[in-house]
């Protein structure tokens, strides 16, 4: 029986006070209690830290990672906000994509092998509400029915699996610190467990909570409010304990790199760097920057390389670069990885207000010494006859990114991985290291380009044939509409390696532009097709 299974199913979590363990008092049901012994052990052989950077509001991915190989269609779709081709920052090893000209610091990181870009990250039924879409990304559950959706966060489930018995049985000598820290005024659903949040929210480590437990004098009894009182008492008690730990860690360390000024994200990442250097074993940190809801005046009319979005890109790039420099100067670069994400992207076509409206898929960036350098995926499919409603079809499900982080950075194994992610998602080659992919660059993008995916006739009316190839294993073909929604699954099953045909007859879809998405394990390919009216 493994440790997690034993803790969950065999050990009664009877914890009382006192005997000090790192400032937290507890005794168990016996000196040789299995709980006491097991809680002193580290559940995985990793001290890895992961930092999540939320770009709140919906980042315009097309103006962050500019598609050079389809630049003509990109420019025609958004002439009033498009970045001039001559100003796009080039990236070593590719002539297909480049960065916004304000992202020079991140360009250097990419060229040094510390950046992995994933193209067109989204999901099968995109939601364009800031709040609902953020919930989807935080929980990794995209069901629209609120009653069916889980209430826990994807990182909350991971931490709950890794540290069963939290918060009652913690701190311990093996995990004396907060499991997650959010540089925020309040915790997000991302780190929510079944009952308690698995994280602590702070804004200033030196002015963190110093209060005495206001609920300690109330006796627990059989009153109806007993459950709620216990909850408040535990939260208050742990908050006080962890506040002292955080403050001490922050005061033990100082940053070594120079961070950009007047940059809110940089200030947050500076705190994270100090806490890691101060000795915290905290696994997860979250930071955020807002302002990405750029419906109007995204760029300056006189120069599209400047304006609101340019400032955001400069701040993002500079903050992450300074953070990475700090980690390297502190000797922490092997332990820390990070990732940017936004609740959705923007539409392909710009609006008349020099802005972009809520869209679907967008690129995502992983950063750190162990990021697998390169660009995963191809430039987004942009139709030449672009319409206002056209969205970028997703190539990679965001939950595949999450699953890859769990597997390749936190070394999570099956079946725990599927439990945390709610179901199986294919792993993507994103992170190198002890439990990641091979250090030698693979041929993922070239393999994807070699996959066959085509339809004839094109355009089609009633009948059509889709031809595709597979390297073997699970293979899926989805048909996606112009809004980015999966409207048909043409196949989803295991195949032997080879080339196959699927015949389509009277699919019941309206005339318009569609995309076919081929997924063969971690390989993806997307093409556009047209259906004509009869």
pLDDT band, residue 296 (cuts 50/70/90): very high
Tell whether 63 and 78 lie within a shared domain.
yes
pLDDT band, residue 11 (cuts 50/70/90): very low
Is 498 a residue whose pLDDT tops 80?
Answer: yes
Q: What is the pLDDT of residue 34?
A: 41
Q: What is the pLDDT of residue 222?
A: 54
306/521: higher pLDDT: 306
Q: What is the pLDDT of residue 262?
A: 96
Average pLDDT rounded to a whole number, residues 49-55:
98
Q: What is the pLDDT of residue 444?
A: 52
Q: What is the pLDDT of residue 144?
A: 84
**Residues 390-448 pLDDT 10s:** 999 999 999 999 999 999 999 999 999 999 999 999 889 999 988 888 655 445 555 67
Average pLDDT rounded to a whole number, residues 383-395:
91
Tell whether 250 and 365 lie within a shared domain.
yes
Is 189 a residue whose pLDDT tops 80?
Answer: yes
CB distance 425 to 403 below 8 Å: yes
Tell whether 433 and 454 lie within a shared domain.
no
Q: What is the pLDDT of residue 488?
A: 96
DSSP 266-298: HHHHHHHHHHHHTT----EEEEEE-----SS-S
Strand bridging mode 336-341 / 49-55? parallel
Is 217 a residue whose pLDDT tops 70?
Answer: no
Strand bridging mode 498-505 / 336-341? unpaired
Tell whether 420 and 366 lie within a shared domain.
yes
Picking from 264, 249, 246, 293, the residue whose alpha carbon sits closest to that of residue 58 is: 293
Alpha-carbon distances, residue 56 vs 19, 360, 436 (angstroms): 44, 14, 29
Q: What is the pLDDT of residue 15?
A: 27
d(CA 197, CA 178) in angstroms, rounded, equals: 11
Q: What is the pLDDT of residue 471?
A: 93
Which residue range(s) make up the domain with 4?
A: 1-41
Tell whether 145 and 107 lie within a shared domain.
yes
Q: Which residues pair with 396 in a beta bridge?
A: 121
Picking from 144, 159, 130, 142, the residue whose alpha carbon sits closest to that of residue 56 is: 130
Please check whether residue 82 lies inside any domain of the structure: yes
Q: What is the pLDDT of residue 224?
A: 58
Is 133 a residue whose pLDDT tops 90?
Answer: yes
Please check whether residue 399 lies inside any domain of the structure: yes
Tell whether 360 and 380 lie within a shared domain.
yes
pLDDT band, residue 476 (cuts 50/70/90): very high
Tell whether 295 and 380 lie within a shared domain.
yes
Q: What is the pLDDT of residue 53?
A: 98
Is 35 a residue whose pLDDT tops 90?
Answer: no
End-to-end CA gap in the chain:
63
**Residues 305-333 pLDDT 10s:** 999 999 999 999 999 999 999 999 999 99
Is 121 a residue whose pLDDT tops 50?
Answer: yes
Is 450 a residue whose pLDDT tops 90?
Answer: no
Coil, helix or strand at residue 136:
helix
252/41: higher pLDDT: 252
Average pLDDT rounded to a whole number, residues 459-472:
95
d(CA 90, CA 107) in angstroms, rounded, equals: 8
CB distance 399 to 425 below 8 Å: yes
Is 24 a residue whose pLDDT tops 80?
Answer: no
Q: What is the pLDDT of residue 147?
A: 83
Average pLDDT, the chain: 87
d(CA 484, CA 486) in angstroms, rounded, equals: 7
Tell whether 389 and 452 lie within a shared domain.
no
Q: Indicate the number of domains in the chain.
A: 3
Please check whether residue 223 lies inside any domain of the structure: no
Of the three residues 411, 442, 473, the one that is the final residue of a domain is 442
In eight-state DSSP terms, residue 515 is E
The CATH number covering residue 304 comes to 3.40.720
Q: What is the pLDDT of residue 434?
A: 82
| Residues 6 or more apart whose Cβ sits within 8 Å of residue 72 | none
Q: What is the pLDDT of residue 102?
A: 98
385/501: higher pLDDT: 501
Please check whether residue 283 lies inside any domain of the structure: yes
Tell whether 407 and 296 lie within a shared domain.
yes
Average pLDDT rounded to a whole number, residues 224-252:
77
Q: Which residues pair with 327 in a beta bridge?
A: none
Please check whether residue 190 lies inside any domain of the structure: no
In eight-state DSSP terms, residue 48 is -
Q: What is the pLDDT of residue 528?
A: 92
Strand bridging mode 115-122 / 374-376? parallel
DSSP 450-515: HS-EEEESSSBSSEEEEEEEESSEEEEEEEE-TTS-EEEEEEEEEE-SEEEEEEEE---PPSEEEE
HSE of 532 in the Cβ direction (CA atoms, 13 Å)? 9
Please check whether residue 212 lies inside any domain of the structure: no
**Residues 191-201 pLDDT 10s:** 999 988 999 99
Comparing 96-105, 214-223, 472-481, the range with the smallest average pLDDT is 214-223
Tell whether 280 and 313 lie within a shared domain.
yes
Please check whether residue 228 lies inside any domain of the structure: no
Task: Find the helix or strand (DSSP H, E) in which 3 lies.
Answer: helix 3-9
Asked if the bond preceding 457 is cis, omega within 30° of 0, the reply is yes
Comparing 110-119, 150-159, 367-376, 432-441, the range with the smallest average pLDDT is 432-441
Q: Which residues pair with 20 in a beta bridge?
A: 25
Average pLDDT rounded to a whole number, residues 200-229:
64
- Among the ranges 77-91, 157-171, 505-519, which has the highest mean pLDDT value? 77-91
Tell whether 430 and 522 lie within a shared domain.
no
pLDDT band, residue 44 (cuts 50/70/90): low
Picking from 484, 493, 478, 487, the residue whose alpha carbon sits closest to that of residue 525 is: 478
Q: What is the pLDDT of residue 507?
A: 92
Alpha-carbon distances, residue 13 vs 33, 39, 218 (angstroms): 11, 11, 22
Average pLDDT rounded to a whole number, residues 1-10:
37
CB distance 184 to 203 below 8 Å: yes
Coil, helix or strand at residue 85:
helix
Please check whether residue 224 lies inside any domain of the structure: no
526/41: higher pLDDT: 526
Give me the percent of the chain exceeding a pLDDT of 70: 84
Picking from 232, 175, 160, 215, the residue whose alpha carbon sits closest to that of residue 38 is: 175
d(CA 140, CA 192) in angstroms, rounded, equals: 12
Tell whether 305 and 417 lie within a shared domain.
yes
């Amino acid at each position: 029986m493994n440790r997690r299974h034993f803790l969950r199913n065999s050990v009664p979590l009877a914890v009382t006070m006192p005997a000090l363990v790192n400032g937290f008092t507890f005794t168990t049901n016996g000196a040789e209690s299995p709980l006491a012994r097991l809680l002193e052990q580290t559940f995985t052989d990793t001290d890895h830290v992961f930092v999540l950077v939320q770009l709140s509001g919906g980042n315009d991915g097309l103006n962050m990672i500019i598609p050079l190989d389809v630049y003509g269609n990109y420019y025609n779709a958004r002439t009033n906000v498009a970045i001039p081709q001559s100003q796009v920052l080039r990236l070593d090893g590719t002539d297909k994509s480049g960065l916004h000209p304000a992202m020079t610091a991140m360009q250097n990181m990419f060229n040094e092998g510390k950046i992995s870009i994933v193209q067109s990250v989204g999901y099968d039924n995109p939601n364009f509400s800031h709040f609902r879409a953020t919930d989807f990304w935080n929980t990794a559950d995209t069901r629209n029915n609120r009653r069916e959706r889980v209430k826990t966060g994807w990182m909350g489930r991971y931490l709950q699996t890794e540290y069963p018995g939290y918060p009652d049985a913690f701190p311990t000598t093996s995990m004396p610190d907060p499991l997650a820290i959010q540089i925020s005024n309040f915790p997000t659903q991302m780190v929510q467990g079944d009952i308690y949040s698995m994280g602590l929210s702070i804004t200033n480590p030196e002015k963190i909570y110093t209060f005495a437990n206001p609920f300690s004098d109330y006796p627990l009894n059989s009153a109806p409010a007993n459950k709620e009182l216990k909850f408040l008492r535990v939260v208050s008690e742990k908050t006080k304990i962890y506040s002292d730990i955080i403050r001490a860690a922050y005061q033990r360390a100082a940053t070594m790199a120079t961070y950009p000024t007047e940059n809110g994200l940089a200030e947050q990442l500076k705190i994270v760097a100090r806490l890691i250097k101060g000795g915290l074993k905290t696994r997860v940190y979250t930071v955020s920057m807002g302002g990405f809801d750029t419906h109007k005046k995204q760029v300056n009319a006189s120069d599209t390389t400047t304006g609101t979005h340019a400032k955001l890109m400069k701040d993002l790039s500079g903050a992450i670069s300074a953070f990475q420099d700090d980690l390297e100067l502190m000797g922490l670069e092997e332990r820390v990885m990070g990732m940017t994400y936004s609740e959705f992207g923007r539409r392909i076509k710009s609006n008349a207000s020099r802005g972009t409206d809520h869209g679907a898929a967008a690129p995502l960036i992983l950063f750190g010494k162990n990021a697998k350098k390169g660009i995963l995926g191809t430039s987004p499919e942009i139709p030449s006859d672009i319409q206002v409603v056209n969205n970028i079809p997703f190539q990679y499900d965001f939950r595949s990114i999450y699953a890859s982080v769990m597997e390749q950075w936190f070394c999570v194994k099956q079946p725990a991985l599927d439990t945390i992610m709610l179901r199986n998602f294919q792993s993507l080659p994103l992170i190198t290291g002890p439990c990641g992919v091979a250090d030698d660059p693979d041929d993922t993008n070239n393999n994807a380009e070699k996959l066959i995916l085509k339809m004839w006739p094109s355009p089609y009316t009633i009948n059509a044939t889709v031809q595709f190839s597979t390297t073997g294993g699970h293979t899926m073909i989805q048909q996606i509409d112009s809004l980015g929604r999966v409207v048909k699954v043409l196949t989803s099953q295991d195949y032997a390696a080879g080339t196959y045909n699927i015949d389509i007859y009277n699919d019941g879809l309206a005339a318009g532009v569609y995309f076919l998405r081929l997924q063969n394990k971690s390989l993806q390919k997307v093409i556009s097709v047209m259906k004509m009216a009869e």
